[in-house]
Structure 1
Amino acid sequence: MIHPFSKQRRTPWALALLAVCSGHVMAQTPPEVQQALAQPFVWVNEQAQPTALAEVLFREAMAKGTPSSPALRETVRDDLIHQALMAQDARAQGLDKNPLVQAQMALASQGALVRLWQQKVLAENPISDAAVQQEYQAQLAQWGSQEMLIAHIVVNDQDLAKRLISRIQKGEALATLAAEFSIDPDSKAQGGLVGWVGIQQLVPEVAQAIRQMAAQQLWSEPVRTALGWHVLNLQATRPVTPPPLDKIRPQLLELLAQKTLALKLGELRQKASIK
């Protein structure tokens, strides 16, 4: 669960953009390789199962850490045979005529093309060291110099939030009230404790209040967000040292790849006829 304080969201299409297949760009396969991939790998009931299918299974297995070996070849061969037998029987029963099955097959085919398109775009737009450094500096500017330990109670009613603030000011424990009243299940189980967060992780409404608070301070008014009304307590602060570039290089590369693909997709959408 993404915590309600977090501004970060990933849409399903953005996640799909990063589903790159083993780093191999197959969209421009040489003719001789295409010919080899079209050759039968195994025959099942007089139907050829092309080598390309075996190659896909080989790559999937090796991407999961299985080393190439004769045993893997036999496993792939058996998998192809079993899949072919089941698919042939499904067609014999007319299951391939089901509209939902046809839609699933179309989506699978489209998904393969999408992955190849992603690989081709990234191969044609390599990410430079300068771009990684620039993105790192941009992230540094957002991280800030300290983290905050925050506790809160979230309720649906503003008046209830005000009453809870008054009760805490009179000496009742926030943790006890959070366990009883909070509608945020994650922090409720921790006595209202959200944990250590950076200011960049907070939604604007919460960040605005936190910036004005000192350690161990209870904010005097409820703060409204999309989740509800927050009773905020800044328990402590500590300096934070940003991670070195090399440690987060993979995440930066992923982020830049996502931006590259999103930019290209945006160009396609601008030129597309969508009704």
Structure 2
Amino acid sequence: MTIRLARPSLALLLGLGLLAGCQVQTDNAKTSSASTASSASASPTVATVNGEVITQADLEAYRKMRAGQMPNVNLSNKALVEELVDMRLLEQAAVKEGMADKPQVKAQVEQSRANILIQALLRDKFGSQKYSDAELKKQYDQLAAQASQREYKASHILLKTEAEAKKVIEQLNKGANFAELAKKDSIAPSAPKGGELGWFTAQTMVAPFSQAVEKLKKGEYTKTPVHTRFGWHVILLQDTRKTNPPPFDQVKSRIRAMLTQQAIQKYVQDLRDKAKIKIDTPAPAANTTGTTPPAVSTASGK
């Protein structure tokens, strides 16, 4: 049973990791002495780099991030602090070289800050969301009913013309072997396998093909050629089966994640409904010069 989330981009926000231990700065990466003193008083100092403090809280956040990136590598406190020192030195060098004043870098820093704030907000509001087994089972039953469908196992012989297809059907009517005819006459990629397509659902095939298969009984082939954009088909239905969804316990965690995603989506929609939103035409990207930009659109609320 496949569970689809409404907005993958929002689901992705739940999984955003803390960005590589770099301290996000919003004032063009200049650290004031007041903020440094405040950080030091809030958490013990583990290192000082050119007057800038690295605290125990910085170390713990970095340790967590590194554990997520490399769960099988266990670094000592000393090694982690040394990495933080190197990173702080590189950060200071970047500021000295004017990297923080570059428009593109400013935008990336602001985006990083936004991602971390969004992650913190969603974790605070939805990270401890609880659902009873009854709620999860109710959702499971609805999804299971939708997921349960019939699958077909069939073979086909694809030909260029209707006349050729009719000739194949005449041979089948006289007792010819379907697989042998497919290997000899079919122009489909499945010809070397005797025309076998394996198991599929009606939704995965073009409409004329699916409709013809659904009308067949097990062991029957189409008595008239079936026309699709690929050519003319003669189809043999080998078997059918009904798919069963996986057990409830196997997908419970995915259903919980889906319900949480739905709650996030509702929260975002509520924010949109209360907001005044105006979307202007963005400038064309550098590699899309000459393309027609999207039309100006405005939105208020929804």
Question: The TM-score by the shorter chain falls in which range?
Answer: 0.5 to 0.7
How many residue pairs get aligned? The number is 240
How far apart are the structure 2 equivalents of 1:21 and 1:139? 30
Unaligned stretches of 5+ in structure 1?
1-5, 23-33, 154-160, 180-186
Query: In the TM superposition, what is the alpha-carbon distance from 1:235 to its structure 2 partner?
Result: 5.4
- Counterpart of 2:276 in 1: which secondary structure? coil
1:96 to 96, 100, 111: 100
1:252 to 251, 255, 260: 255
Instruction: Kindly provide the CA deviation profile for residues 51-85 of structure 1, in whole angstroms up to 9, marking residues without a partner as x.
Output: 3332222222334574897x432332122112111
Aligned to 1:62: 67
Q: Is the 8 A contact 2:43 2:55 kept in 1?
A: yes
Change (3 A) 1:108 1:215: farther
Q: What is the root-mean-square deviation in Å for CA atoms of aligned residues?
A: 4.5
Aligned to 1:178: 188
Identity of aligned residues (%): 21
Query: In the TM superposition, what is the alpha-carbon distance from 1:110 to its structure 2 partner?
Result: 0.5
Could you say which structure has the higher helix fraction? 1
Aligned to 1:157: none
Q: Is the 8 A contact 1:150 1:194 kept in 2?
A: yes
How far apart are the structure 2 equivalents of 1:206 and 1:14? 38
Query: In the TM superposition, what is the alpha-carbon distance from 1:120 to its structure 2 partner?
Result: 2.0
Q: Does 1:13 align with 2:9?
A: yes
Partner AA of 1:108 in structure 2:
S
TM-score, normalization by structure 2: 0.61
Higher RCO, 1 vs 2 (CA within 8 Å, ≥6 residues apart)? 1
Instruction: Kindly provide the CA deviation profile for residues 219-260 of structure 1, in whole angstroms up to 9, marking residues without a partner as x.
Output: 954567xxx999796654334332211111122122112111
TM-score, normalization by structure 1: 0.66
Aligned to 1:72: 76
1:241 to 244, 265, 281: 244
Change (3 A) 1:37 1:195: farther
Larger radius of gyration: 2
- Counterpart of 1:57 in 2: which secondary structure? helix
Instruction: Kindly provide the CA deviation profile for residues 153-198 of structure 1, in whole angstroms up to 9, marking residues without a partner as x.
Output: 9xxxxxxx9837775663445996333xxxxxxx99x999775455
Q: Is the 8 A contact 1:17 1:258 kept in 2?
A: no
Change (3 A) 1:76 1:198: farther
Partner AA of 2:85 in structure 1:
I
- Counterpart of 2:131 in 1: which secondary structure? coil
2:110 to 98, 106, 117: 106
